[in-house]
Amino acid sequence: MITPVDDFLAAAVRTATPLALAALGECITERGGVINIGLEGAIICGALAATIAAGTVGGPLGVTAGFTAGALAGVVVTLLFALFTVYLRADQIITGTAITLLSLGFTGLVYKTVYGTTGVGLTIPTIGDVPIPGLSQLPLVGRALFAQPVITYALYAIVPFLAWWFVRTHAGLALRATGESPDAALAAGIQPRTVQALAVLAGGAFAGVAGATLVLAQSGTFVEGMSAGKGFIAIAIVVLGRWTPLGVAGAALLFGGASALQYLFQSLGWREVPYQLFLALPYVLTLLVLARASARSQAPAALARRQLTVG
Amino acid sequence: GGEQTAATSDALRVALLTPGPISDQAWNGGAYEGLMAIRDSLGANVSHIQTKTPAEFEENFRQYGAQGYRMVVGHGFEFQDAAARVAPDYPGTIFICTSGDMLGPNLSGMNFAFEEASFQAGMIAARLSTSGVIGAIAGTELPPVRASFTAFERGAKLIRPDIRLLVAYLGTWDDVAAGKEQALALIARGADVVFQNADAAGLGIFAAAKEKNVLTFGANADQNEIAPDHIVGSIVINWPRVMLTVAREVQDSAYRGTLYQFGMRRNMVSLVLNPRFESRIPADLRAQVDSVGTAIVEGRFHDMDDILQPADRPARQNAP
Amino acid sequence: MDTPIAAPSLPVRVAVLRSPLAQAAALTALTLGVLVTLLLATGHDPGVALRALARGAFGSWYAFTSATLVRAVPLALTGLAVALAFRAGLLNIGAEGQLLAGAAATAAVLGAFTSVSAVIALPVALLVGMICGALWAGMAALLRQRFGVLEVISTIMLNYVALYLVGWLVRGPLQEPSRIYPQSEGLARAFQLPTLFTGTRLHVGLVLAVGLSTLAWWWLRSTAGGFRLRTVGMNPSAAFTIGRVNVSRVSVWAFLVSGALAGLAGAVELTGVTYALYESISPGYGYTAIAVALLARLNPLGVLGTAVLFGALQAGGNAMQRDAGVPIALVHVVEAIIILLVIAGDRLPATRAERSA
Amino acid sequence: MTASLALSLRGIHKQFGAVRALHDVTLAVRAGTVHALLGENGAGKSTLMRIAFGLVRADRGTVDVLGTTCAPPFTPSMAIAAGVGMVHQHFSLVSAMTVSENIALGSQGRYDPATVHAQVRRIGERTGLVLDPNARVSELPVSAQQRCEIVKALARDARILILDEPTAVLAPDEAQALLAWLRTFVAEHPSHAVVLITHKLRDALAMADDITVLRRGERVAAGVAHTFTEASLADAMLGPGERTHAVQQEVMPRVDAHTDSVGAHHNVITADAIDVRDPRNVLRVRGASFTVRAGEIVGVAAVEGSGQHELLRAVAGMLSIANGRLSAPSDIAFVPEDRHRDALLLDASLTENLALRDAGTRSGRMEWRTLATRTAALLTKRDVRARDAQVNARTLSGGNQQKFILARALDDAPPALIVENPTRGLDFRATADVHDALRDARDAGIAVLLYSSDLDEVLALADRVLALHNGVVHEVPRDRAIVGRAMLGAA
Ligand SMILES: Nc1ncnc2c1ncn2[C@@H]1O[C@H](COP(=O)(O)OP(=O)(O)OP(=O)(O)O)[C@@H](O)[C@H]1O
Ligand SMILES: Nc1ncnc2c1ncn2[C@@H]1O[C@H](COP(=O)(O)OP(=O)(O)OP(=O)(O)O)[C@@H](O)[C@H]1O
Ligand SMILES: [Mg+2]
Ligand SMILES: [Mg+2]
């Protein structure tokens, strides 16, 4: 028996999945002291790479190929970002803006070259929901949490792992130290630049997988600009989640829930209410939650430390 | 982007401005297809630009006008204010705005009676629905979208008066994931036929229909092959014909500054049924749908007269 | 502590500009090289495409004024808004939403003032646009002061809310009288900002942008208020401890002024260019503004220059589509590469010098 | 010979842009010794040691650690691996992380807090450097941060310990304990060595086996400690003929060097049973009553964290008082202890930094030209060494920054001046200048309230002393033993 609540919760988790992936990656990046506004670009590149790889390989293997290609594409784009921001120490925000513009254009170009004007349609292999026997029968959360695609289950492992990794490995300590004080990290024998570059690339891989998820676990197709601002939302989610993996996962779920609520409200057929009110709901809700729980103090101290000189 | 063909210097020059990407296989892609037909059939020199913001419309219209383009199509109502401002300055250029109602010596609105085919789609949807709930999703609420949804609902109610239509808007035309989620939400509320007009995001709606095994319709172009088992039919604008019709008038100097109203009457808009569904549509329904179609073509059908479509009102004249 | 990580780039920079000519030449060559390769690879004649880019931006009086400068006006005003906020240490990413709020308010005022003389209506409408832009920013300021909500995130959220608000307004209270099109009624001639030169679309908004940028530059440099704002941006703790500056008051005012400038951008765009409120009135000016401001090193006068640069890029991009058949996707790639090369040109010499230190 | 050298730097050259930081400097640190490295602010001490630690790359010269030459690129991680530990002048701790996380920083693999806790405890037992491993560094008093830096180095088995001005932030007793421990460190491990950078000549003479003196980037003296005297060291550091009377005072400070105030007048500051809460609403000062009169210096003696920080800020009008009555002029000048964080716009010119003083109340146009003239005059008057008024504050040395800050505070003759650790990190010449400026201010009729973590500095400057313990203020006689006891809460 599937209730509307089940559907709503399942939609919340589905919507949260790519956001959580991208935001966890950005969380790693920001913990290293870099803010990657080019996340949107990495997502769309991941989506296209996943489309091409999965479509070319085909079948269940295609899905694996798609996720791999998505991650790789995310790494390649952010490599450019890392080159500019970590190596040249260019301003992170302008560079990120340019990278996003570049990626949106580049994917459009490649898409048209590969698929012509007819597009890819719905021919890309996708991963379906894999209900976990028993667990998926649990009341309320069963379907929402345990009848999802494998990539969502991957998050169940990634989130606690990252949370553990941040505080219980020396690499995690090094990452956090770099984001807090590159000077201190350097004095402790850490190479802050290497750490930052790796953090940026890891963020790119996650964003690429998020893009692949949009294609392979959700829509089954590619559309120009289908990232549709998810990169920016992911950055907001990192702040909302106070730079901790668990917080980020919770924030993504909150935003996913607010979006699912929006979809639900519109499906109720209240035609008197302007639909824009529903569309604004996730953003308003986020603001309200933020106002309840301030996040100011948790930001990595050296985040986005600007190389900028004021003139 | 538009391709430039090597044409003689006095060749017809035609430009198209679209608000979205021509890869959407729908509204924008269709118009581009029409542009290509003009190039191929009339040997015209063509140009295309994707431009979304009103600030840029006037500049592009002027540039085309100044370069001597004979016909410039702004693809959407939002282009018409800018076109109206530019048209008087370039009398040698014909400005056409789709979904518009402005009129001038060299300015025409061009409308598609999308609602006619939508009405028919609604009739079929009502019969194919077992739940008695149907849905409709669009990118944003635009005049042709609203007219089409109203007609879809009327058509459905004609067949099944107690049917319920759930309408939702995505606020975007290219977020496929949002399209899919919204469709899933409607399906979860019982909708088993989901009508759509969401351009690129519509692909997400098709994906949801496939996944949940419900029915849907294509829009703007023949999309039946995208999800052959789930798309009942597509509301197709015959873009090559539409665009060629106007372009020929321009080329032959037969343009008279009228509002173009393209509908089922000249077979410019039609409901193209997916052959796989022919057998699933009962004969009596089929007959009923066809008779509505005939009535529309013959001008005897008045159930939609009150649905505000620009062309149904006296055309606004372009103020000098 | 001066480790290689946080080395201040200021003293270093001077040593760098040693042979600006050689560096500029090398960079231009690199830019052109990448662009040409890319265009060739996609089957476009680089000569035709780049000529179109240049012509579309600077090729004629009309192109320069009506394409490049018309775009530069909202970019300069929002860029100025961002620059002022950043100068005060506030990461206002919300110029886009504030612009929309300003445009909507202006449309509302002019819609209601149909029988009022334009001499009164127009200034009042612009003013109300500024006030509403300021109020929209004020929400982020309030959230920051009262609840400690980082403005980076609240302004992003408010941008989306503004977008949907405008979407509703143009279908509701501000919809044109026939109630068909999701847009407000077109402005009467008298309510349109006058153009600066006949035959162009360049409107007096440019004068406002230049005037306000100059004013802001002078104000930051030469007045106590401007200095106070800069002290808060440079070191709020020292501003409070030594200067006894009321840091939160300065922050709130900076936020409001920033919002007002972005609101004015919307008001000017509406009255000077689009003449009606549309959902899509801004192609993301408020986001581009961040790059405009940062590239200008947050200097209000520099913002004018970078706004023209970005305006030219966009104008030229349109021309590349129109006249050279370059698809918009490729246009975006070209624009992004040019921006990246400008950044590289800005940083490369400095980086080399820092490394040798 | 080489074998007995723990650390050896030879022929080191380093140029920063136009500044010649080090020129052909050699430093030989014998195993089993404490080696003091002396020099004025900006002499190149930190740079030299940062080179030894791999943080700065020398333009020329070689670094040998325990007999092995370190080939470039020599990095901190290589230095750490080679057995070098450095306690930096400006701490290099991550304040958002815990003590044990900071100590673990830089290793590989899993991080097990329990192991590190045990290690911290072991080191604490061995050395007396006791720390709470779970505490966040940002919540530790500076002395504990200092301990944390040292424990961090020891936890990695540092055999050569470099300490850059470790006593600058410590109370005298803490400093003495630390120095004593350094002696045991080398005594217990004959192969180990300590390099100690300090501005206190007495400490160097008392604790070090060897001394090296730098002046303007060059080694001007080196040898066994007992071959030096305070006077000869001062001469070496300053250069011939630079030892003025004021400097002499600082080199060999005696409490009886105190010059009494010309005569105190009316009360400028009157506190009547005031309570002060910190921004987290913790009660830090309880029922404090005292006065500061025009023309006197009132010194506050306290151990770190007793509430002096809040007390000074409340009097300066930057923290509101929770209870009681405080009467103080509104235009009090305040010199905070953390110059970079609280007192300077590092990337703005000195003129702008001067204008910062009344940025909050100023209106209208900024008279930059007038301000620049005033700044230039101030630089000359107070002997602040800066190229001109337009250079950024960052380019001044710490001593000159501090002199500038004090000059700015006194510029428009405020009725009262509050200073907090005014000479932290300054060499004796700069310290002498600062002390002179404070006495001049007093003699000009300004009411001065002074806190220093260095009790000797309080005793040398103050006309009256307030002992602060756990938020409670008592006025006590100016006697070192009595004040010392009162600071610790003993009556
Ligand atoms: N990162 C840097 N960039 C430029 N110049 C520097 C830098 N670090 C040090 N210097 C220069 O090197 C000289 C030596 O500085 P250093 O910090 O080694 O002095 P110090 O002896 O440690 O002084 P103090 O006693 O104040 O700590 C300074 O005068 C300064 O001019
Ligand atoms: N960015 C810089 N550019 C030029 N010179 C610098 C720079 N940073 C530091 N210096 C030089 O470094 C010298 C001393 O710097 P340093 O920070 O070691 O001073 P300090 O006396 O140790 O100050 P503090 O007591 O605050 O540590 C100054 O003389 C200054 O000229
Ligand atoms: Mg030093
Ligand atoms: Mg120092």
Of all protein residues, the one whose alpha carbon is nearest to atom 22 of ligand 1 is D46
Residues 71-110 of D with CB under 8 A from C: 88-90, 92
List chains adjacent to chain A, taking adjacency as at least 3 C-beta pairs closer than 8 Å. B, C, D
Residue at D435: amino acid letter = H
Kindly state whether residue D413 falls inside one of the protein's structural domains. Answer: yes
Q: Which ligand gives the minimal distance to the CA of D90? A: 2
- Asked whether residue D302 falls in the same domain as residue D211, the answer is no
In this structure, what token pair is assigned to residue A251? 């924030």
> How remote is the C-alpha of C32 from its chain's centroid?
26
- Asked whether residue D188 falls in the same domain as residue D80, the answer is yes
Rg (CA), chain B: 20
**Among all residues of chain D, which has the CA nearest to that of C250?**
D360
- Tell me the range of A174-188, D130-144, D159-173, D249-263 where mean pLDDT is highest: A174-188
Integer Cα distance of A286 and C166 in angstroms: 20
Kindly state whether residue D256 falls inside one of the protein's structural domains. Answer: no
Kindly state whether residue D191 falls inside one of the protein's structural domains. Answer: yes
- Residue owning tokens 């998926």: A136
- Stretch among A136-150, B85-99, C140-154, C301-315 having the lowest mean pLDDT: A136-150
Helix-strand-coil split of chain C, %, nearest 5: 75, 0, 25
For the Cβ of D395 lying below 6 angstroms from any atom of ligand 2, the answer is: yes
Task: Spell out which residues of chain C touch residue B2, defining contact as CB-CB under 8 Å.
Answer: 321-322, 325
Contact C180 B142 (CB under 8 A): no
> How remote is the C-alpha of A228 from its chain's centroid?
12
Contact D347 C10 (CB under 8 A): yes
C22-346, CATH topology level: ABC transporter involved in vitamin B12 uptake, BtuC (1.10.3470)
pLDDT of B3 over the 50 cut: no
Among the partner-chain residues D77, D93, D101, the one whose CB lies closest to the CB of A173 is: D101
Tens-digit pLDDT profile for residues D250-307: 665 554 556 666 666 789 999 999 999 988 889 999 999 999 999 999 999 998 788 9
Contact A309 C13 (CB under 8 A): yes
pLDDT at B7: 41
List chains adjacent to chain C, taking adjacency as at least 3 C-beta pairs closer than 8 Å. A, B, D
Integer Cα distance of A277 and B169 in angstroms: 11
List the domain boundaries for chain C. 22-346
Cis geometry, peptide bond prior to residue A160 (ω within 30 degrees of 0): no
Task: Spell out which residues of chain C touch residue A104, defining contact as CB-CB under 8 Å.
Answer: 329, 332
Instruction: Give the domain CATH number at D179.
Output: 3.40.50.300
Strands D333-335 and B94-98: unpaired
- Asked whether residue D243 falls in the same domain as residue D329, the answer is no
Residue at A249: amino acid letter = A
Instruction: From the CA of D17, give the closest atom in ligand 1.
Output: 4
Contact B182 A111 (CB under 8 A): no
Residues measured by CB to lie within 5 Å of ligand 4, the ion: D 398, 425
pLDDT at C11: 31
Contact D395 C11 (CB under 8 A): yes
Strands D416-420 and D447-451: parallel
- Stretch among A277-291, B3-17, D21-35, D269-283 having the lowest mean pLDDT: B3-17
Which one of A183, A227, A276 would you mutate to disrupt binding with C, by most C Cβ within 10 Å of its Cβ? Answer: A276
Return the percentage of chain C with pLDDT > 70, whole number. Answer: 89
> What is C121-150 written as a DSSP string?
HHHHHHHHHHHHHHHHHHHHHHHHHHH---
Of all protein residues, the one whose alpha carbon is nearest to atom 27 of ligand 2 is D398
Q: How many residues does chain D have?
A: 491
Q: How many residues does chain C have?
A: 357
Please, are residues A305 and A91 in contact by the beta-carbon 8 Å criterion?
no
User: Which residues have CB under 8 Å from D227's CB, separation 6+?
Assistant: none
Q: Is A152 on the interface with B (CB under 8 A)?
A: no
Of all protein residues, the one whose alpha carbon is nearest to atom 27 of ligand 1 is D41
Domain, as residue range, for D435: 267-487
In the predicted model, what is the mean pLDDT of residues C181-186? 93
Q: Is A303 on the interface with D (CB under 8 A)?
A: no
Look at phi and psi of residue D312 and say left if phi exceeds 0, alpha if psi is from -120 to 50, else beta: alpha
Of all protein residues, the one whose alpha carbon is nearest to atom 28 of ligand 2 is D397
- Asked whether residue D247 falls in the same domain as residue D323, the answer is no
- Asked whether residue D111 falls in the same domain as residue D171, the answer is yes
User: Which residues have CB under 8 Å from C215's CB, separation 6+?
Assistant: none
Instruction: From the CA of D44, give the closest atom in ligand 1.
Output: 18
Q: What is the mean pLDDT of chain D?
A: 89
3-state SS assignment for residue D293: strand
Look at phi and psi of residue D290 and say left if phi exceeds 0, alpha if psi is from -120 to 50, else beta: beta
Instruction: From the CA of C2, give the closest atom in ligand 2.
Output: 8
Q: What is the mean pLDDT of chain A?
A: 90
Rounded to the nearest angstrom, the minimum Cα separation between C246 and chain D is: 7
- Stretch among A154-158, B171-175, D143-147 having the lowest mean pLDDT: D143-147
Which one of A19, A83, A94, A235 would you mutate to disrupt binding with C, by most C Cβ within 10 Å of its Cβ? Answer: A94
Contact C228 D362 (CB under 8 A): yes
Burial annotation D111-136 (CB, 10 A radius, 16+ → b, else e): bebeebbebbeebbeebebebbbeee
pLDDT at C61: 93
pLDDT of B47 over the 50 cut: yes
Kindly state whether residue A261 falls inside one of the protein's structural domains. Answer: yes
Integer Cα distance of B153 and B151 in angstroms: 5
Domain, as residue range, for A42: 4-296
Kindly state whether residue D46 falls inside one of the protein's structural domains. Answer: yes
Q: Write the ipTM.
A: 0.89
Contact C240 D347 (CB under 8 A): no
Tens-digit pLDDT profile for residues B30-39: 999 999 999 9
Tens-digit pLDDT profile for residues A45-73: 999 999 999 999 988 899 999 999 999 99
Tally of domains within chain A: 1
Burial annotation C218-232 (CB, 10 A radius, 16+ → b, else e): ebbeebbbbbbbbbb
For chains A and B, count residue pairs whose Cβ atoms are closer than 8 Å: 120
Tens-digit pLDDT profile for residues A155-197: 999 999 999 999 999 999 999 999 999 989 999 999 999 999 9
**Among all residues of chain C, which has the CA nearest to that of B77?**
C181
In the predicted model, what is the mean pLDDT of residues B9-37? 90
Please, are residues B170 and B199 in contact by the beta-carbon 8 Å criterion?
no
Residue at B184: amino acid letter = L
Tally of domains within chain D: 2
How far, in Å, are C254, D9, D13, D139, D162 from residue D73 at the CA level? Answer: 47, 15, 16, 36, 20
Among the partner-chain residues C9, C154, C334, the one whose CB lies closest to the CB of A287 is: C154
Chains B and D touch (3+ CB pairs under 8 A): no
Tens-digit pLDDT profile for residues B246-255: 999 999 999 9
Boundary residue ending a domain (D251, D279, D303)? D251
Of all protein residues, the one whose alpha carbon is nearest to atom 5 of ligand 1 is D16
User: Which residues have CB under 8 Å from C332's CB, separation 6+?
Assistant: A101, A102, A104, A105, A106, A108, C317
- Residue owning tokens 């890029």: C313
pLDDT at A289: 84
- Asked whether residue D414 falls in the same domain as residue D287, the answer is yes
Q: Is C14 on the interface with A (CB under 8 A)?
A: no
pLDDT at A1: 56
Split at pLDDT 50, 70, 90, the class of B271 is: very high
pLDDT at D334: 96
Please, are residues D8 and D182 in contact by the beta-carbon 8 Å criterion?
no
Q: Is A274 on the interface with B (CB under 8 A)?
A: no
For the Cβ of D425 lying below 6 angstroms from any atom of ligand 2, the answer is: yes
Cis geometry, peptide bond prior to residue D73 (ω within 30 degrees of 0): yes
Task: Spell out which residues of chain D touch residue A180, defining contact as CB-CB under 8 Å.
Answer: 94-97
pLDDT of C13 over the 80 cut: no
